Amino acid sequence: MYPIVKREKLADRIYLMDVKAPRVAQYCEPGQFVIVKVDEVGERIPLTICDYNRKEGLITIVFQTVGSSTERMADLKEGDAFQDFVGPLGCPSDLIHEDIEELKKKKILFVAGGVGTAPVYPQVKWLHEHGVECDVIMGARNKDLLILEDEMREVATNLYVTTDDGSYGFQGTGTAQLQALWDEGVRYDHCVAIGPMIMMKFVCVLTKELGIPTVVSMNPVMVDGTGMCGACRLLVGGEVKFACVDGPEFDGHLVDFDQAMQRQRQYRTEEGRAALKLQEGDTHHGGCGNCE
């Protein structure tokens, strides 16, 4: 069992938990994820690691309630425990494998949308701890849905906060903020965008136009998290990839977002899963058992 030592409501339907998982905390890196199960009959839920403390053996997760399984998670209190807490899974961020001195020469930007702020935070924190400066644009629909602003402000060189409705910070999307910075003469050598699929798509449209290499995290499409179910199948540069084992991070300018979003919508229904199985043949996988 994996006890919850801290539980906090960050915003409407968004929760943070610190979970005692020493082995995961010992080996995880920014960009990786875990799979949690509340109990024996619970759904397996992939969640990107928001933070970790190797000394204390703690992993921080952030999740939004979107269905019955995450609602059950939200009902857990400090002292309760997850039955399963598996990880670290997926590939770490490419940035942590680069030469630190070379990273210090780059102007790096992170664009975080909504709950995507959670997986952005450990990467920015890691860079900060290694003396690498980076800017962050983080946004939400309104002020009440912003999360981890104080934590991000401590590790980002410059933090730009946006809200769609203008209730706080810059009024508009993260792409609008990036365009405004670019128009002011701010230049970036590398971008990492994490958030809703549609947001990452339009960040990539802009950064491709501006000539900024961009990495995206395709964690929104994951279900099983081990490469068996095929739910996270996507096309990257025309090649079939699976976000959970080949990613979750990919070159955003090569990701077929339209196909990924269409597939994500279809996968939610039994009829849609059957159609995908027929269309995708041997590359579909189907180990989740929902496609028969």
pLDDT per position as a tens digit, 62-108? 998 887 788 888 999 999 999 899 889 988 998 988 999 999 999 99
Which part of the chain has CATH 2.40.30.10?
2-89
b/e burial code for range 87-125 (CB count within 10 A of at least 16 → b): bbbbbbbebbeeeeeebeebebbbbbbbbbbbbbbbbbb
In the chain, CATH 3.40.50.80 sits at: 98-215
Tell whether the model's pLDDT for residue 226 goes beyond 70: no
Q: What is the pLDDT of residue 223?
A: 64
Q: Is pLDDT at 124 greater than 60 in this prediction? A: yes
The model's confidence at residue 224, banded by pLDDT at 50, 70 and 90, is low
Looking at residues 228-238, what average pLDDT do you find? 79
Give the model's pLDDT for residue 267.
53
Fold of the domain spanning 2-89:
Elongation Factor Tu (Ef-tu); domain 3 (2.40.30)
Q: From 3.40.50.80, 3.20.20.100, 3.40.50.150, 3.40.50.920, which CATH number describes the 98-215 domain?
A: 3.40.50.80
Is the four-CA dihedral 59, 87, 110, 94 of positive or negative sign?
Answer: positive
Q: To the nearest whole percent, how much of the chain has pLDDT over 90?
A: 62
- The enclosing H or E element of 149 equals helix 149-155
CA distance 186 to 291: 48
Percent with pLDDT over 70 in the chain: 86
Residue 21 has pLDDT above 60, yes or no: yes
pLDDT on residue 53:
95
Mean pLDDT of 143-147: 92
> What pTM, to 2 d.p., does this model score?
0.84
Question: How do strand 58-64 and strand 14-20 relate by DSSP bridges?
Answer: antiparallel
Quick: pLDDT tens for 248-281: 899 999 998 888 888 766 555 444 444 445 555 5
Q: What is the pLDDT of residue 243?
A: 82
Q: What is the pLDDT of residue 180?
A: 96
Contact 112, 137 (CB under 8 A): yes
Comparing CA positions, the residue from 84, 82, 87 lying closest to residue 32 is 87
Mean pLDDT, the chain, whole residue set: 87
The pLDDT, as a whole number, for residue 66 is 81
- H or E segment at 270? helix 270-280
Which of the four pLDDT bands, split at 50, 70 and 90, describes residue 287?
Answer: very low
pLDDT confidence of residue 272: 44
